[in-house]
């Protein structure tokens, strides 16, 4: 009886994963290849398939599998899959069907309203939508339940185990350290000169160099590919088909090259998840934060280091325009690590990035908690930007309207980006204790690094929760000291303060 | 009540079409973009989604929609969709579930066995599989039923309305005319010289020229795209997303250029199906034969004409290698229309092509009818090749093993190719009666031609049956005289006999 039920459960998971792969491919296609006139039809098809996934997750069959199998399954993969399925079932079951349907409609309306509002720098036209989204999210959080802070219920969707209590211990420490570092950097006598990076860098050359670096990182092109898009992403259709996308700016190679390496880090994670997790919901990154730790690790802890460029600068120059021929390595290295407060999160350097996140975290926590309202956002946004980054945007387009996340109802997502930095620094430190990371980078030998990440992080997929991984790998919980130490040491050298 | 049932029916059709689009995209992706390591997983996903389509088509819900709505639906689209759904339901219901499942497994085994057998020129290793496939097809034909010839039941799957009775009237006439034409061509004093077409033609130039011609044909690149593949095809995911694929041979431009135009003809059909048929099984070509008539029309009746090259030869030369610079148009035109009996169907010219089909038709008709057995095929194949084409392959690889169709159980498919030629000739004649086709071609003005085809053929999708279209457009049934007249007139001029 149990075996029969287990087979039924596996069949449901396989269907769910199959729809997932189809949905993933359709999304990849829409963002890289699909002709624009077919988009409307495709969106409807996506709607049908997403509905099917939702139906499986909340079906009576799924419920009976959960009820009958709970506590009776030995196989660790199926046991975790069952927990995951139960959590999804419970989470969805707690929301009244009508409210969920209204919310899905609101999401798509709000996203297109946000796009327009951003274009027109018109917060007020978006405000009523954002107010409704906040209202729904407050309600959903109440349905789901929480122990201390209502925002915890939303955080859980992106970073299970991380709560307001944790973040309120960690984030202020990081914020204070970064603002003080930023002060020193601003006043440092020797500033990098980013103008040395200028010059027309043809797209095909950028592509060739990016692909070459991906290969060296250990990204498997027989289980993936590299394409062009507008908003770069990586997507795992299955562990043997994990695709990277990038965009090319012929006037600034940094977009493509660091962008490709960043997405390559995400892709390495998904390519190296244990194949035994295939056709289960566990064949995926365990959280947004751990996923981001992998992309940031490769982008910053590898590809923005001096050691990396000591080996790869000659290779880079073989693809780069002639203007780089006589540029000294040190000038290049300092230029690609320039720190400069700016308005836009996605253009921020690795030091100010976390400060952008702090602004968002504090605002959305207060918003969901009911301490502030949507109408207060533009003013508070600008105040916090001034406090933490020392710059104040003159338009909402460059301020509170810049990110897509809230328009899709994604509250609780932003902290994952900062957590990604912290996890990456913490993993990096641990890795250094067990091998000569810098000399591997200098030798262009990334194999041991990739293997370390696979062994400690990638292979598990969702078998381990994010903080479980952090604890298992580093022997302690989330610790903000590592990111602070890393940034302090690095930028002291670069800015010589 | 009926309205509610109709809504349920529409929902089922929309789900079916949505799975269809996902399956189509996955197929396109596997043949153009997907990394090879992901193929195994993808095949499983395809299996799950195909199973879902089959489940919908044969579901109790579908049955109840058919039963309750039959005769009560006014809307012509829904009426036809209902007929189509009923036919699919009945067809599937007549086959015992176990036999169908065994057959699906056999199909995939047989396809890979065929590939191996072809590589090794080893008919005997494929023979037991082919025998089983024939046996199943005989049984299925008996389940489905037929009036005169068992093979009719299979023909119906590809070309509804066309029977052995029809083909046995038409095909011999065509065959006799073609073999007699072929004799005259062989003995004609002035043979074309295909060696004038040789020369290294870079892939990117071929691609640019092919895309330019597609555009001129009226293929909408905002509702499609052109990619490279191994076995070219066109695929309509929806009427606003119809993709063409091609392959490039740098030593022979004809592969890509005539291939792209051929697939472009298929694509124009699907791009111009009435959008009101979206999300129904009617948003598709009405039969294999009518589909082929559209591709062959553009490939031969447009792109292999003297009129076409009078206008496009200069354009062609602007992309072609220098060796074409001094090649006279007439030599070029005669070379691209060389007639030469050969072993391989897919490499055949437009005159001998139908003879390849006659060989296959006669063999599969006799095979399904039980007059011959699989073991007789190699001998009979070679005998017929000698009779009709005057050439006899020395290996089965170049003979009976060359085509994939039988290995997938597709008996009754081949006649569609020859029907495509006949339909195309019949449409072409009719088109000439209503407009100055040749001068449109000479002016490079394909708009009226495309519009004629849309008005008479494309827009209907599956709303009309193939012979209904032929009758409505030409005022008569299938008539082989047109293809014979067309080929006679054309090749008399070229070969001057």
> How close does chain B come to A21, measured CA to CA in Å?
7
Distance from CA of B268 to the nearest CA of A (A): 15
Integer angstrom CA distances of residue A53 from A100, A277, A491, B54, B63: 15, 18, 47, 18, 25
Among residues of chain A, what percentage have pLDDT more than 70?
100
Of A25, A38, A221, the CB nearest to B29: A25
Backbone angles phi, psi at A468, to 5 degrees: -65, -45
The per-residue pLDDT for range B52-77, each reduced to its tens digit, is 999 999 999 999 999 999 999 999 99
Residue pair B352/B389 in contact (Cβ under 8 Å)? The answer is yes
E strands of A173-269, at which residues?
226-228, 234-238, 241-246
**A456 and A368 belong to one structural domain:** yes
**Number of other residues whose CB lies within 10 A of the CB of residue A407:** 23
Q: Is residue A416 part of a domain?
A: yes
Alpha carbon distance A176, A245 (integer Å): 35
A41 lies in the same domain as A168: no
Who among B35, B36, B222 is closest to A36 (CB)?
Answer: B222
Interchain proximity B35–A278, CB inside 8 Å: no
Nearest-CA distance from A271 to chain B in Å? 11
Tokens, residue A241: 């088909």
Let me know whether B315 and B398 are in one domain: yes
State the pLDDT confidence band at B176, using cuts at 50, 70 and 90. very high
Alpha-carbon radius of gyration of chain A:
23
Dihedral sign for Cα atoms in the order A227, A228, A231, A232: positive
For residue A1, what pLDDT is reported?
A: 62
Interchain pair A38, B225: CB under 8 A = no
Chain A residues with CB under 8 Å of B44 CB are 14, 18, 279
Instruction: Decide the pairing of beta strands B241-246 and B234-238.
Output: antiparallel
Shared domain check, B246 and B384: yes
Q: Give chain B positions within 8 Å (CB) of A21.
A: 41-42, 45
Do A18 and B44 make contact, defined as CB atoms within 8 angstroms?
yes
pLDDT, average across residues A184-195: 95
* Contact at CB, B33 and A35, closer than 8 angstroms: no
Most B-contacting residue of A22, A236, A276, A280 (CB-CB within 10 A), to test interface = A22
Which residue among A95, A122, A149 closes a domain? A122
Which run of H or E residues covers position B244? strand B241-246
The terminus-to-terminus CA distance of chain A in angstroms comes to 70
For residue B108, name the pLDDT band (cuts at 50, 70, 90): confident
* Angstroms from A385 CA to nearest CA on chain B: 42
- Cα A3 from Cα A484, distance rounded (Å): 51
CB of A220 within 8 Å of any CB in chain B? Answer: yes
Per-residue pLDDT, averaged over A456-482, amounts to: 98
| pLDDT of A483 higher than 80 | yes
Whether the pLDDT of residue B441 is over 80: the answer is yes
Whether residue B145 lies inside any domain: the answer is: no
What is the reported pLDDT for A232?
95
Is residue B240 within 8 A of residue B31, CB to CB? The reply is no
Does A38 contact B279 at a Cβ distance shorter than 8 Å?
Answer: no
In whole angstroms, how far apart are CA B470 and each of A124, B162, B423, B465, B473?
Answer: 60, 12, 7, 9, 5
Task: Please judge whether A38 and B14 are an interchain contact, meaning their C-beta atoms are less than 8 angstroms apart.
Answer: no
Interface of B with A in 8-67 (CB under 8 A): 14-15, 17-19, 21-22, 25-26, 29, 33-38, 40-42, 44-45, 48-49, 52
Query: For residue B459, what are the contacts with CB-CB under 8 A and spacing of at least 6?
Result: B272, B273, B274
The C-alpha of A66 sits at a distance from chain B's nearest C-alpha, in angstroms, of: 22
- Per-position DSSP letters for B59-93, written without gaps between them: -HHHHHHHHHHTTT--SHHHHHHHHHHHHHHHHHH
| Cβ contact, residue pair B35, A238, below 8 Å | no
User: Is A295 a domain residue?
Assistant: yes
d(CA A362, CA A75): 42
Of the residues A159, A207, A263, A364, only one is catalytic, namely A263
Q: Radius of gyration (Cα) for chain B, nearest Å?
A: 23
Least confident of A129-138, B102-111, B224-233: B102-111
Pairing, β A241-246 against β A226-228: parallel
Q: Could you tell me which of B7, B22, B43 has the C-alpha nearest to residue A49?
A: B22
Average pLDDT of B478-484? 98
Q: What is the DSSP letter of A193?
A: -
Residues of B in contact with A245 (CB under 8 A): none
pLDDT tens-place string over residues A133-147 = 999 999 999 999 999
Which among B37, B52, B220 is the nearest to A240, CB-wise?
Answer: B37
d(Cα B186, Cα A417) in Å, to the nearest integer?
Answer: 75
Q: CA-CA distance, B227 to A35, in Å (whole number)?
A: 13
Q: Is residue A346 part of a domain?
A: yes
**Beta carbons of B22 and A45 less than 8 Å apart:** yes
Q: Please, which pLDDT band fits residue B1 given cuts at 50, 70 and 90?
A: low
B176 in the Ramachandran plot: left (φ > 0), alpha (ψ -120 to 50) or beta?
alpha
Same domain as A206, residue A112: no
Residues of chain A with C-beta less than 8 angstroms from the C-beta of B37? 220, 222-223, 240-241
A132-146, A215-229, B104-118, B165-179, range with the lowest pLDDT: B104-118
Distances (CA, A) of A38 to A30, B181, B357, B404: 9, 46, 36, 31
Residues B34-47 as b or e (16 or more Cβ within 10 Å = b): bbebbeebbebbbe
Nearest CA in chain B to A224: B35
Classify burial at A222, counting beta carbons within 10 Å of its beta carbon; exposed 0-12, middle 13-18, buried 19 or more.
exposed
User: By CB neighbour count within 10 A (0-12 exposed, 13-18 middle, 19+ buried), where does B171 fall?
Assistant: buried
Q: Are residues A190 and A68 in the same domain?
A: no
Cβ–Cβ contact B225 with A under 8 A = yes
Whole-angstrom distance, CA of residue B342 vs CA of residue A74: 63
Q: Are the beta carbons of B278 and B14 closer than 8 angstroms?
A: no
Q: What's the mean pLDDT in A151-167?
A: 97
Whether A45 and B221 lie within 8 Å, measured CB to CB = no
CA B431 to chain centre: 21
Collapsing DSSP to helix, strand or coil, A237 comes out as strand
In a domain, B483, yes or no: yes
B279–chain A Cβ distance below 8 A for any pair: yes
pLDDT at A10 exceeding the cut of 90: yes
- Using the 3D structure, point to which of B122, B155, B190 is the last residue of a domain: B122
Chains A and B: how many Cβ contacts under 8 Å? 106
pLDDT, tens digit, 9 for 90 and up, residues A387-442: 999 999 999 999 999 999 999 999 999 999 999 999 999 999 999 999 999 999 99
Domain annotation covers residue A442: yes
In a domain, B440, yes or no: yes
For residue B21, which residues of chain A lie inside 8 Å, CB to CB? 41-42, 45
Residues B104 and B225 in one domain: no
Residue contact B18–A44, C-beta within 8 A: yes
- Give every CB contact of residue A287 below 8 A, 6+ residues apart in sequence: A158, A159, A160, A416, A465, A466
Cβ of residue B229 closer than 8 Å to a chain A Cβ? no
Q: Tell me the chain B residues in contact with residue A280 when contact means C-beta distances shorter than 8 Å.
A: none
Whether chain B has a CB inside 8 Å of the CB on A230: the answer is: no
The closest alpha carbon to A93, from A59, A69, A126, belongs to: A59
Neighbours of A364 (CB within 10 A): 25
Q: Is B360 exposed, middle or buried (0-12, 13-18, 19+ CB in 10 A)?
A: buried
Q: Roughly what angle, to the nearest 10 degrees, separates helices A481-495 and A415-434?
A: 80
Token pair recorded at residue A45: 């098809």
* B359-391 pLDDT per residue, tens: 999 999 999 999 999 999 999 999 999 999 999
Beta-ladder partners of B243: B235
Asked if residue B385 lies in contact with residue B392, where contact means CB atoms within 8 angstroms, the answer is yes
Provide, as residue numbers in chain A, all residues whose Cβ is less than 8 Å from the Cβ of B53: none
A223 touches chain B (CB under 8 A): yes
DSSP-derived letter for residue B344 is: -
Residues of chain B contacting A36 with CB distance shorter than 8 Å? 222
Q: Report the residue of B13, B17, B27, B33 to disrupt the A interface, i.e. the one with the largest count of A CBs within 10 Å.
A: B33
How does B5-21 read in b/e, with b if 16+ C-beta sit within 10 Å? Answer: bbebbeebbbbbbbbbb
Using CB atoms within 10 A of its CB, is residue B245 exposed (0-12), middle (13-18) or buried (19+)?
A: buried
Task: Indicate if A298 and A411 belong to the same structural domain.
Answer: yes
* Together in a domain, B491 and B383: yes
| Residue A190 buriedness (CB in 10 A; 0-12 / 13-18 / 19+) | exposed
Contact partners, residue B342, CB within 8 Å, separation at least 6: B348, B352, B389, B391
| Minimal Cβ distance to B238: which of A14, A41, A225 | A41
Helix ranges (DSSP H) in B235-305: 253-271, 288-296
Minimal C-alpha gap between A43 and chain B (Å): 10
- The helix/strand/coil state of B339 is coil
Instruction: Report if residue A290 sits inside a domain.
Output: yes
Confidence class of residue A101 from pLDDT cuts 50, 70 and 90? confident
Q: In chain A, which residue's Cα lies nearest the Cα of B47? A: A18
Residue B60 burial (CB < 10 Å; 0-12/13-18/19+)?
A: exposed
CB contact under 8 A, A29 and B34: no
Q: Specify whether A303 is located in the same domain as A212.
A: yes
Alpha helix (H) ranges present in A274-376? 288-296, 306-319, 329-335, 353-369
- A238 CB near a chain B CB, below 8 Å? yes
Confidence band for B101, pLDDT divided at 50, 70 and 90:
confident
Taking CB atoms and an 8 Å limit, are A21 and B42 in contact across chains?
yes
Closest CA to B479 of B414, B421, B417: B421
Per the residue annotation, which of B159, B263, B299, B350 is the catalytic one? B263
Contact at CB, A238 and B278, closer than 8 angstroms: no
Is the distance from CB of A323 to CB of A149 less than 8 angstroms?
Answer: no
Residue A205 pLDDT greater than 90, yes or no: yes
Take residue A208 and report the two structure tokens written for it.
Answer: 């060739």
Q: B69, B102, B122: which is the final residue of a domain? A: B122
**Residue B112 and residue B235 in one domain:** no
Positive or negative, the CA dihedral B60, B64, B67, B72 is negative
Note if B159 is an active site residue: no
- Same-domain check for residues B100 and B213: no
Quick check: B405 pLDDT over 80?
yes
Three-state secondary structure string covering B136-183: HHHHHHHHHCCCCCHHHHHHHHHCCCCCHHHHHHHHHHHHHHHHHHHH
Instruction: Identify the domain containing residue A68 by its residue range.
Output: 2-122
Q: Tokens for A143? A: 């349905």
% of chain B with per-residue pLDDT over 90: 98
Residue in the block written with tokens 């949505």: B18
Query: How much is the average pLDDT of A38-59?
Result: 94
How many distinct structural domains can be found in chain A? 2
For residue A180, what is the domain's CATH number? 1.10.1370.30
- Among the partner-chain residues B22, B34, B279, the one whose CB lies closest to the CB of A22 is B22
CA distances from A239 to A219, A415, A458, B190 (A): 12, 27, 11, 60
Inter-chain CB proximity A18 and B45 less than 8 Å: yes
User: Are the C-beta atoms of A236 and A271 separated by less than 8 Å?
Assistant: yes
DSSP 8-class letter at A298: I
Could A240 and B38 be called an inter-chain contact, meaning their C-beta atoms sit closer than 8 Å?
yes
Check residue A163 and report its DSSP letter. -
């Amino acid at each position: 009886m149990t075996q029969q039920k287990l087979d039924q459960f596996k069949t449901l998971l396989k269907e769910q994963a199959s729809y997932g792969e189809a949905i993933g491919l359709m999304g990849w296609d829409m963002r890289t290849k699909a002709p624009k006139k077919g988009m409307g039809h495709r969106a409807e098809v996506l709607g049908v398939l997403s509905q099917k996934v939702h139906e499986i997750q909340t079906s009576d069959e799924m419920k009976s599998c959960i009820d009958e199998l709970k506590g009776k399954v030995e196989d660790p993969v199926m046991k975790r899959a069952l927990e995951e399925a139960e959590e999804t079932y419970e989470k969805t079951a707690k929301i009244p069907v009508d409210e969920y349907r209204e919310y899905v409609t609101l999401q798509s309306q709000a996203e297109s309203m946000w796009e327009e509002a951003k274009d027109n720098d018109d917060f007020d036209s978006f405000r009523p939508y954002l107010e409704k989204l906040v209202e729904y999210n407050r309600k959903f959080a109440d349905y789901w339940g929480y122990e201390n802070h209502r925002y915890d219920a939303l955080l859980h969707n992106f970073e299970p185990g991380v709560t307001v209590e944790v973040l309120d211990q960690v984030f202020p420490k990081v914020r204070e350290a970064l603002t003080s570092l930023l002060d020193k950097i601003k006043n440092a006598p020797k500033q990098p000169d980013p103008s040395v990076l200028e010059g027309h860098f043809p797209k095909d050359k950028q592509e060739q160099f990016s692909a070459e670096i991906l290969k060296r990182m250990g990204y498997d092109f027989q289980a993936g590919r590299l394409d062009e898009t507008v908003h770069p992403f990586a997507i795992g259709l299955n562990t043997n088909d994990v695709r990277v996308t990038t965009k090319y700016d012929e006037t600034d190679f940094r977009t493509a090259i660091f962008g490709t390496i960043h997405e390559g880090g995400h892709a390495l994670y998904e390519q190296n998840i244990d194949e035994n997790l295939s056709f289960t919901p566990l064949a995926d990154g365990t959280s947004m934060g751990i996923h981001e730790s992998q992309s940031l690790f490769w982008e910053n802890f590898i590809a923005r280091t001096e050691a990396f460029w000591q080996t790869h600068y000659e290779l880079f120059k073989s693809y780069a325009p002639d203007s780089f021929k006589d540029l000294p390595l040190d000038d290049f290295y300092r230029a690609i690590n320039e720190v400069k407060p700016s308005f836009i999160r996605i253009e921020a350097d690795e030091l100010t990035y976390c400060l952008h996140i702090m602004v968002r975290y504090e605002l959305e926590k207060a918003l969901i908690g009911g301490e502030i309202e949507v109408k207060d956002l533009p003013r508070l946004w600008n105040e916090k930007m001034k406090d933490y980054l020392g710059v104040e945007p003159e338009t909402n387009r460059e301020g509170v309207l810049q990110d897509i996340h809230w328009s899709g109802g994604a509250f609780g997502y932003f902290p994952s980006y900062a957590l990604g930095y912290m996890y990456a620094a913490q993993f990096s430190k641990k890795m250094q204790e067990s091998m000569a990371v810098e000399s591997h980078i200098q030798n262009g030998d990334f194999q041991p690094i990739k293997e370390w990440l696979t062994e400690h992080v990638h292979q598990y997929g969702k078998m381990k929760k994010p903080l479980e991984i952090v604890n298992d790998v580093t022997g302690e919980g989330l610790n903000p000291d590592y990111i602070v130490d890393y940034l302090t040491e690095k930028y002291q050298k670069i800015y010589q303060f």
